[in-house]
Chain A
Amino acid sequence: MSDKYIARSTGIAARKLGEETIIIAAETSSVFTLNEQATVVWEAADGVTPLRTIVEGRVCQEFDVTPEAAYRDAEELVTKLRGTASWWFRTSPLLPPSSLPCRP
């Protein structure tokens, strides 16, 4: 099974209000509310950490949920928000600029 990587889009504004996070896509003015569990995934979406690691290392540590159920929820969240351009979805990690090979 290949890893999946997610990174928050730069065209999105997010604010944590209480335990939830509200996000807005400026281009479309679409507004979404993330619950506590989704907020953890959102905050950890750095484009480098695999989604499964986020789920097992963060979500399952903070919530009483099985890895399978949490991963299913996370995938559903990613799919839902992917259509709103809220984040990038990749099958390889984002590389920091310093790790890119120099041009000859």
Chain B
Amino acid sequence: MRQSPNPYSIDSTLRIVHTLLLAEEGGFLLHAASGMRNGSAFLFSGLSGAGKTTLSRLAPADVTLLTDEISYVRQEESGYRAYGTPFAGELAKVGENVSAPVGGLYFLAQGLENRIEAVEPAEAARRLLRNILFFAKDPELVNGLFDSACRFVQCVPAYRLTFYPDERVWDLIR
């Protein structure tokens, strides 16, 4: 792979390499902001404009930001763990180099009130697959990633988080 020597090239290369490394061990990179609170990591997933950076900016002091753009999820024996990443979005701030077990996955939508609704596993898997970063076309890797997404939604509770952009939304995340 030949890339021009600028920070964005390195960032892109790292993303591609890590999607492949994680795929082999049941993990993935996800278009999601993530934060750690009370020993658990929470993922806030959505494509551009969904509110990942907005939610990250609103995070109170007791939340450790792992990323406002790309979340790093690894499978471990007892479940899944999210790690801080250097992949920053509009916040332009790298995540803390810490990790925690994933306590919940939230699909973001902006609205006039703050509301959480449970999402059924099949719907969660479909949405999750839409937001996972993956660049390979190899059928074996795609199938492996599909399995990982299906396993993930069976282990981690998934919700739709509709939020009005002020700090009260974080009262719902515990």
Contact = CB atoms under 8 A, between A and B. Distances in A.
Given A17-B121, A17-B153, A33-B126, A27 B139 contact: yes
B125 A26 contact: no
Given A15-B150, A31-B126, A20 B120 contact: yes
Contacts of A13: 142-143, 146-147
Interface string B41-71: 0000000000000000000000000000000
B154 A31 contact: no
B122 A22 contact: yes
Contacts, number: 46
Nearest to B153: A17
Interface residues of A, number: 14
18 contacts: A11-B139, A13-B143, A13-B147, A15-B125, A15-B147, A17-B120, A17-B121, A17-B125, A17-B154, A18-B120, A20-B120, A20-B122, A22-B126, A24-B142, A24-B146, A26-B146, A27-B139, A29-B142
Interface of A: 11, 13, 15, 17-18, 20-22, 24, 26-27, 29, 31, 33
